A and B are shown apart, each in its own frame.
Chain A
Amino acid sequence: MPVIRFIFVRFLQAILVTMAVTLFVAFAIRLTGDPVVMMVSEASNVTEEDLARIRESLGLNQPFLMQYFEFVKNLARGDLGDSFFRGPVWDLISVALPATLLLAATSMFVSILVSIPLGIYSAVHKGGLADQMIRVLSLVGLSFPNFWLGIMLVLVFSITFPFFPASGFDGLASLVLPSVTIGIILTATNVRLVRTTMLEILGAQYVMVARAKGLSERKVIYKHALRNGAIALVTFMGLQFGNLIGGLVVVELVFNWPGMGTLSVEAIAQRDYPLLQATVSILAIMIVGVNLAVDLIYGLIDPRIRVS
């Protein structure tokens, strides 16, 4: 029962967050200028009447709040509307969203796969040579701007040594460079997080108790300590998802990855109100959804907050 209540409250929260974010975005993009002027910029002899007619057909003559209300009403029905230039928004998103999710999931996966063993090794051998190196490397990784790292990887691995495609989305090979770019940056943070979390837990009394039982060090670390560490790690990695989306936008542009980031930036450049509002809403819902999932997973790992 409390779980249902919890999910219900979170669901309301998700709606509010989405509303707030889209309201702000819808308002802000309208400050950048008139999309109709942009549409007709290449045509000649356009009269004021023509402009007014186009505005009316797009509903842009309505007051702002009316336009926003219209958008929300359609959104509630699952109708994302039509892009000003590119047909139904849903068609565009149904291509871009999987591409982004694929990239995000691969990067997260790569980062977790690398950072957990490295972080644990670093914590167990605290102060040793490997620990020092891991810490220095993670600091270096943290200091890279993501776009620069992406360009460097392209320079080395697709221009000097043409192993992987430099841009676009064409088969799994093209997934490598963008996901490595994001993966490196995520890993740099995660290694440090895993290290500090494990250091704290390895000092806990129950870890000493596990050792005093005669368990092997591997079992002590990977069963008794890591299971507790997972509580903190899952929370952090969930929060990280928001940052990940932000990073994705930049990296998608660098690699010309046909995802949500690229789509949003194009929408901004073209003042494509419906498309931008839709992409931002979906990204906001995703972030709220991931955080809800984290809270639920949290309850699965930690019996102390599991509701009876």
Chain B
Amino acid sequence: MQDAEKTPDDMLLRVKNLTVQFGSGPMAVKAADDLNYVLKRNKTLAIVGESGSGKSVSSLAVLGLIKHIGGQIASGEILFKSDVLGREVDLCTLDEESLRRIRGNEIAMIFQEPMTSLNPVFTIGSQIVETLVLHQGISQRAARQKAKEALELVRLPNAGRLIDNYPHQLSGGMRQRAMIAMALSCQPKILIADEPTTALDVTIQAQVLSIIRDLQRDMGTSVIFISHDMGVVSEMADDVLVMKASKRVEIGAAKDVLGAPKEDYTRALLAAVPRIGSMTGTTKPKLFDIPGEASEGDTPEAADFDASEPIIELDKLTTRYDIRGGLLNRVTHRVHAAEEVSFKIYPGETLALVGESGSGKSTVGKTIQQLVDPVSGAVRFRGDDIFSMPKTERTSFRRQTQYVFQDPYGSLNPRKTVGESILEPAFVHNVVAPGSNGRDYVCDLLEKVGLPAAHVDRYPHEFSGGQRQRVCIARALACKPSLVIADEAVSALDVSVQAQVVNLLMKLQAEEGLAYLFITHDMAVVERVSHRVAVMYLGQIVEIGSRQQIFENPQHPYTRRLLAAVPVLDPGNRPERKPLEGEIPSATRRVGDEPKILQLEEIADGHLVARGTEGFEGMQLA
């Protein structure tokens, strides 16, 4: 049957009319609906779409693993030219035995979460050896040698030592490389990479992407690259398939789909993508142009801020975490999470605090929240130090400083209606008089954040991720704050939702004169939202200045490295990057081994850069 029409030679994999569904009968949900695509030899096909679009499910179908997540292939064919079986087979109907000979051997997969993809109780080496022995029938010893070579291929230093390490001894980026080594160990014809860099820091992402690209070129592997990140897709893909709600929206060469999209949905998706460098020459934050939201285009630029008196001022704030050990449980090491961090935020201003994991950016937020105590330094709120102010003033400070966290699922109590959740802090701080039901107050807030007031009695699970984040924003606003700390507040959201939430935050800033401390790792979003930017590395600020100064005239090598690592949405052009090597060092130090405090030098009005590049030599870029 499947040989009815001859597949052209360069087409390695053809997916025809694939429908995957969960459940059966009238309750069935289609996760892929009449999907068609072709993967060519030695090419990368990117599948893009937002969460729930079915992009991951369709790739699990290629491996015949759909039944393990509770779904089934309802109809369609997945034709694959297998060398092991010596013929073109339909992966949808192939027997399990033959499928197993293809899985991991001819078609391998890398998953999104490097932290959970490797089995924690086996060494890295034994997990790679297992695959090799299974598919190549070689001895343990030969397999071990090959595993070591595979680890070297993904540029892991000390492969000979790492092979006997357990996954928890490796950083996220190293684990993902080990995962790639495992997937490529049998030299597969197809590599499926499901959001392989989403959980990684941007500089580490750049490393992993360049490894995948190089290995693809050297081995002649075809890649199915699943991602929600348009910038990454633009850098990796030859062809792009856009999916929405289980269906194909459009497919074509990357430069056509990303450069001149035919469909409205693709255009809307692209419009929501923050493009680094798109704000060059401007000084103020700018709303995203969201098609359909154009009526509000009267305020395309956010308001300027009042730079007379800072609302909050950090003065040499130092926060460390003690690590105890030894026989007497004494402090042996300290995590130098924040070292002499100083900055000011003015009313109506957004200061973006950027850095990679371990840079201490969240610790700064937590210290302002008084969730951790600083070792030294001061945080002055309207001139008064929050750690020494009397209790009544401290309560007032707490009311005026509110927070929005990254995970909108974890930060709302599932057993309370959103109305109750929003009202609770307002009651605590007497913003709403005790006894009054506060319902009108909450309804106003819901409308302000763009949710229908009628949703006040709903529970969090009835909302999508973006709507929940709006609820969290409404809760923060309920106390009439003057400063909002947004800790990765839009990082977990889909791009189109992210754009809406970012726009909402900017509009609220203009209306209420709010100051934001915007903590994030995403440079492209930072360029949109911020007035000023502070770059943190290993607990210290290495560069701080206006948005324009940081993005158009970055001085510190780390800032440059961070900016250069951001994937650029530039259809048809793949930037040739110098491979960036090395891991971010640990901020954990022995007691007594204090880090050197960087001295900041003012090179232009308000633009401060750490003097000297000691320790940053490896980061110099052209």
With A208-B65, A228-B119 in contact, is A5–B102 under 8 Å at CB?
no
A41 within 8 A of B: no
Indicate whether A303 sits within 8 Å of B103 (C-beta atoms), given known contacts A212-B63, A215-B130, A228-B121: no
Q: Tell me whether A209 and B131 are in contact in the complex, defined as CB-CB below 8 angstroms, given that A214-B100, A215-B100, A304-B166 are known contacts.
A: no
- Is A5 in contact with B327, judged by CB distance below 8 angstroms? yes
By beta carbon, the residue of chain A nearest B106 is A214
Q: Does B255 contact A (CB under 8 A)?
A: no
A216 and B100 within 8 A (CB)? yes
Contact with B along A13-47 (1 / 0, CB 8 A): 00000000000000000000000000000000000
Query: Given A211-B103, A212-B108, A302 and B63 touching (CB < 8 A)?
Result: no
Min C-beta distance of A9 to chain B, whole Å: 10
- Indicate which residue in A214, A224, A228, A303 contacts B166 across the interface (CB closer than 8 Å): A303
User: Quick check: is B81 within 8 A (CB to CB) of the other chain?
Assistant: no
Q: Which residues of the other chain, A, contact B466 by a CB distance below 8 angstroms?
A: none
Whether the Cβ atoms of B118 and A209 lie closer than 8 Å is yes
Residues of B within 8 A of A214 (CB): 99-105, 131, 134-135
Please indicate the chain A residues that have their CB under 8 angstroms from the CB of B168 in the complex: 303-304
Interface centre among A2, A5, A209, A216 (most CB of B within 10 A): A209
Q: Which of B99, B116, B166, B325 sits near A206, CB closer than 8 Å?
A: B116
Residue of B nearest to A209 (CB): B117
Q: Is A159 an interface residue (CB 8 A)?
A: no
Complex alpha-carbon distance, A212 and B111, angstroms: 10
Residues of A within 8 A of B104 (CB): 212-215
Contacts of A215 in B (CB 8 A): 100, 104, 130, 134
B113 within 8 A of A: yes
A66 within 8 Å of B by Cβ?
no
The reply to whether B121 and A212 form a contact with Cβ atoms under 8 Å apart is no
Contact A208 B130 (CB under 8 A): no
B47 CB → nearest A CB, Å:
17
The range of chain B's interface size is 20 to 34
| Residue B120 at the chain A interface, CB threshold 8 Å | yes
Q: Complex: how many Å from CA A6 to CA B327?
A: 9
A189 to chain B, nearest CB (A): 25
Asked if A304 and B101 sit within 8 Å, CB to CB, the answer is no
Which residues of B have CB within 8 Å of A213? 103-104, 108, 130-131, 134, 182
Q: How far is the CA of A41 from the CA of B422 in the complex (A)?
A: 74
Q: Chain A contacts of B120 at CB under 8 A?
A: 206, 228, 302-304
Distance to closest chain B CB from A4 (angstroms): 9
Q: What string of 1s and 0s marks CB contacts (under 8 Å) between A279-308 and chain B?
A: 000000000000000000000011110000
Knowing A205-B116, A208-B68, A214-B103 are in contact, say whether A301-B121 is a contact too (CB < 8 A): yes
User: Is A210 a contact partner of B68 (Cβ separation < 8 A)?
Assistant: no
Distance in angstroms between the alpha carbons of A204 and B117 in the assembled complex: 8
Q: In the bound complex, how far is the Cα of B127 from the Cα of A206, in angstroms?
A: 11
Q: Which of B300-351 contact A (CB under 8 A)?
A: 325, 327
Cα(A206)–Cα(B102), bound, Å: 19
The reply to whether A212 and B119 contact each other, CB–CB distance below 8 Å, is no
Chain B residue nearest to A228 (CB atoms) is B121
Kindly state whether residue B48 has any CB partner on chain A within 8 Å.
no
A interface secondary structure, majority: helix
Q: Is A125 an interface residue (CB 8 A)?
A: no
Question: Complex: how many Å from CA A303 to CA B101?
Answer: 31
- A73 at interface (Cβ–Cβ under 8 A)? no
Q: How many Å lie between the Cα of A227 and that of B99 in the bound state?
A: 25
B119's partner among A2, A5, A206, A231 (CB-CB below 8 A) is A206
**Per-residue interface assignment for chain A, residues 225 to 241, with 1 indicating a CB less than 8 Å from any chain B CB and 0 otherwise:** 00110010000000000
- Please, which residues of chain B bring their CB within 8 A of the CB of A204? 116
Complex Cα gap A202–B100 (Å): 18
Given contacts A303-B166, A304-B168, whether A210 and B119 have CB atoms under 8 Å apart is yes
Interface residues of A in 190-228 (CB under 8 A from B): 204-206, 208-216, 224, 227-228
Contacts of A301 in B (CB 8 A): 121
State the Cβ distance, B482 to closest chain A Cβ, in Å.
43
A71 to B104 alpha-carbon distance, docked (Å): 66
Most B CB contacts (10 A, CB to CB) among A5, A204, A205 go to A205
Closest to A210 in B: B119
A224 and B100 contact, CB distance less than 8 A: no
Contacting residues, chain B, for A1 (C-beta < 8 A):
327
Residues of B within 8 A of A5 (CB): 327
- Cα of A301 to Cα of B120 in the assembled complex, Å: 10
Shortest C-beta distance, A227 to chain B (Å), equals 5
| Contact of B270 with A by CB under 8 A | no
Smallest distance from the beta carbon of A113 to chain B beta carbons, Å? 23
Question: Considering the chains assembled together, what is the distance between the CA atoms of A151 and B534 in angstroms?
Answer: 75
Which residues of chain A have C-beta atoms less than 8 A from B65's C-beta? 208, 211-212
- Tell me which residues across on chain B come within 8 A of A210, comparing CB atoms: 119
B109 is an interface residue with CB less than 8 A from chain A = yes
Closest B residue, CB atoms, query A216: B100
Expressed in whole angstroms, the minimum distance between the Cβ of B151 and any Cβ of chain A is 16
A209 touches B111 (CB 8 A): yes
Which residues 213-271 of A have a CB within 8 angstroms of B? Answer: 213-216, 224, 227-228, 231
Say yes or no: A303 contacts B121, CB within 8 Å: yes
**A1–B109 Cα gap in the complex (Å)?**
41
A211 to B101, CA, bound (A): 11
Complex contacts, B119 vs chain A, CB 8 Å: 206, 209-210, 224, 227-228
Instruction: Tell me, in angstroms, the Cα distance from A301 to B104 when the chains sit together.
Output: 27
Most buried by A among B116, B121, B122: B121
Contact with A along B65-78 (1 / 0, CB 8 A): 10011000000000
Q: Tell whether, in the assembled complex, residue B103 and residue A206 are in contact, meaning their CB atoms are under 8 Å apart.
A: no
Chain A residues in 8 Å Cβ range of B131: 213-214
**Would you give the shortest CB distance from A107 to chain B, in whole angstroms?**
28
B contact residues around A206 at 8 Å (CB): 116-120
Nearest A-chain residue to B192, judged by Cβ: A212
**B449 CB to closest chain A CB, in angstroms?**
34
Residues of A within 8 A of B100 (CB): 214-216
**Distance from A151 Cβ to chain B, minimum over Cβ atoms (Å):** 44
**What residues of A have a CB within 8 angstroms of the CB of B116 in the complex?**
204-206
B170 shortest CB reach to chain A, Å: 12
Give the residues in chain A near B122, CB-CB below 8 Å: 224, 227
The answer to whether B121 touches A302, judged by C-beta atoms less than 8 angstroms apart, is: yes
A205, B103: Cα distance in complex, Å: 16
Q: Using Cβ atoms and an 8 Å threshold, which residues of chain B touch A205?
A: 111, 113, 116-117
Near B by CB (< 8 A), chain A positions 103-156 give none
Q: Give Cα distance in the complex from A302 to B63, angstroms.
A: 30
Cβ contacts A to B, 7 pairs, < 8 Å: A205-B117, A209-B109, A212-B104, A214-B101, A214-B103, A214-B135, A304-B168
The 5 closest A-B pairs by CB, nearest first: A213-B104, A214-B103, A214-B104, A205-B116, A303-B166
Q: A206-B117, A208-B111, A214-B134 are in contact. List 11 more A-B contacts (CB 8 A).
A: A1-B327, A204-B116, A209-B179, A210-B119, A211-B103, A212-B104, A214-B99, A214-B103, A227-B119, A228-B119, A304-B168
